[in-house]
Chain A
């Protein structure tokens, strides 16, 4: 069965960086786009960007350009999301989710359990 298992909670100071992971299993890793979506406490869902695990091409939301980097490791079927220059308003639950097979215009059908990243001095 398809699973996306994310790394554990993080606490960071303002200005630091955080790198979180999402390990995929149960399907062909390189065939499906992976997306990152975050949710601040009590707020809605915000799309951060996507990565194509096949060739590691990325597409980032403008709000995160210059601060976010998404990478993948095909040997472990894992994608990573690093967010730098953290601010208090980056405190949120970060989800990875699976997108389409060889296409981006498809819904997110499986989600990781989420990672709480807390930014506090």
Chain B
């Protein structure tokens, strides 16, 4: 199975801050890396697919990069509605593993 790690596991930030979350995989997954946002009590929502492709309707302040085993989710200017938990997930091979999540809360 492909193991996923995320860092940090949590962070505190202010509105307007630039936030970077890192995801690392245990083997090369090319660019089969997706990012999801989950708010409490809600289903996850797809933000970015294939490492850097922004989903329709997702604000442009979200961006993704990386390939191989190292990937990054960046929020260029944090907004109040962005305080959530973020998960990376690989869709390279089954089982389609998720990272442990990064909780972004208000400083």
Where the two chains meet, the residues of A that have a C-beta atom closer than 8 Å to any C-beta of B are 35, 37, 44-47, 50, 59, 61-63, 95, 97, 104-109, 111-114
Contact = CB atoms under 8 A, between A and B. Distances in A.
Contact of B34 (A95, A104, A107): A107
Contacts of A114: 43
B23 to A, nearest CB: 13
B99 to A, nearest CB: 8
11 contacts: A45-B98, A45-B101, A46-B98, A47-B97, A61-B95, A104-B91, A105-B93, A107-B89, A108-B44, A108-B46, A112-B43
A62 to B, nearest CB: 7
B91 A107 contact: yes
A59 B43 CA distance: 22
Nearest to A113: B43
Contacts of B87: 44-45
Contacts of A109: 46, 49, 55
Contact of B96 (A47, A63, A95): A47
A105 B99 CA distance: 17
Contacts, number: 60
A108 B45 CA distance: 9
A106 B89 CA distance: 10
A15 B48 CA distance: 39
A111 B43 contact: yes
A108 B93 CA distance: 14
A35 B101 CA distance: 19
